Structure 1
Amino acid sequence: MPNDIRGTPQNWPSAVVFDLDGTLVDSSPDLTSSLADLLAERKLAPFSRLETIGFVGGGIALLVERALRARGVDFTADELAAAVDRYKTIYRGRLTEATRLYDGALAALDALKAQGISTAVCTNKTEALARGIIEGLGFADRIDVLIGGRPDRPLKPSPAPLLDALTQLGVERDDAVMVGDSNADVQCAKAAGVAVICVGFGYAHGPVRDLGANAIIDGYADYA
């Protein structure tokens, strides 16, 4: 790899592709409250924020499925689809009610842009929901490409979303870095042949050091 991804932005590759939830933004409060409302409608007990984080990773449909199974709910495919749709409706109304950018994330994006480095967001969240967060928190102008989950393309850990992001950016895989917080991000990047950095403050289901990233950062301060 031609660049030191652990250095300052001046030494980074031509593009940096970020995961969204647990990487650029802490969306767990709004995910948690939306899930609590969904469960309350079904007379089920809510989950804590940390418990909800344990369901994150793989998109909203999997989050809802995991939560219902954890409450011992049996459901058909149609019933699950209806629950997922209802969750999206609830969540859509509070995308940025308590969701916030992580400390230093905006300054890091500004530093990358100042160096002429392209940026993208690659998330398993649907593009509409992801765009609502990015626009609602006021950093859409710092993101060149947004890749969200959609039915006709596999989600991460498939490399397909990341490769689509690189194609739209016009950047080769050996001149890009993925920044994420989960095993799905690491496996996606590795399958795509892209170097990957993990943040140590996200939603990983286990020790970040065990994910096999090229580097780990504990915050964005060193990159702003």
Structure 2
Amino acid sequence: MFTAVLFDLDGTLVHTKDEYRYKIVGGVLDKLGIRGKLRESKFKKFVDKFWFEEGRDQTIEDFLGVHANEFWKIFRELDTPKKRARALKVYEDVDFLDKLKSSGFKIAIVTGAPPMIAELELELLGKHKFDQIIIANPLSGIEPKPDPRGILLALERLQASPRNSVYVGNSEGDLMAAKKIGVYDVFVDRGEYPIKFTKVKPSLKIRTLYELSDLLKI
């Protein structure tokens, strides 16, 4: 029987408007002097792969031929909390969190988002809804997914066992992290990007959080 449900954040509970990622990444490429060298199709392919898939540093270097640190320095200058806040909105089905709480489930966040961005997204959702919040990001000193340590830390604080827990995310790295420690993994497909499952397959694939009702028997 499941007793705890853990969630990823960006792309799972909170949406960043499509135009924002193209604008910010485009701004980075402008400053690097390479935006004009890319065809529009290649530019969009790079932005989407960078935004939604694992291995971002490798994607940067393979597509752009620049060192990832150089890219990230400019990206963080442009992706300010004030700008990001205007591009965020919660998905309509996040009211399902209230049903989880009222049904007695422990709920938590395990996200790889930078701390300042995670704070913005949590403010939109309401931090009080979550029993634990783990930011698994190098800036927080916790290895990001697919490393499972962020999920393990959340479970430890929730006093929940992996076999009685569910992790819901929107990337292959989310699934990998959960599977490594025996947590039941769920992929939520928001229809924003076609993830190719090359390393693992989801135990369950859903399109809305409401579909968790059958799994959790609520």
Q: Residue type of the partner of 2:164?
A: D
Q: Residue type of the partner of 1:206?
A: K
* Alignment partner, residue 147 of structure 2: 158
Deviation >4 Å, runs of 4+: none
Question: Which of residues 65, 78, 98 is equivalent to 1:110?
Answer: 98
CA distance in 1, matches of 2:66, 2:108: 38
**Corresponding residue SS for 1:156:** coil
Q: Give 1:204 deviation, angstroms.
A: 5.4
Q: How does 1:105-184 map to 2 (within 5 A)?
A: 106-135=94-123, 137-151=124-138, 152-184=141-173
- % identical equivalent positions: 23
- Number of equivalences: 202
Q: Give 1:188 deviation, angstroms.
A: 0.5
CA distance in 1, matches of 2:129, 2:195: 29
Taking only aligned residues, the RMSD between alpha carbons, in angstroms, comes to 2.7
CA contact (8 A) 1:154 1:161 kept: yes
- Deviations, residues 67-99 of structure 1 (Å, cap 9, x unaligned): 45413x333xxxx43431331232123222222
TM-score normalised according to structure 1 size: 0.77
* Structure 1 residue runs without a partner (length 5+): 3-12
CA distance in 2, matches of 1:204, 1:155: 22
- Deviations, residues 176-207 of structure 1 (Å, cap 9, x unaligned): 10001221111110111101111122545316
- Deviations, residues 146-193 of structure 1 (Å, cap 9, x unaligned): 222333432211111110111122211122100012211111101111
CA contact (8 A) 1:58 1:156 kept: no
TM-score normalised according to structure 2 size: 0.79
CA distance in 2, matches of 1:203, 1:123: 19
* Alignment partner, residue 90 of structure 1: 78
* Structure 2 residue runs without a partner (length 5+): 214-218
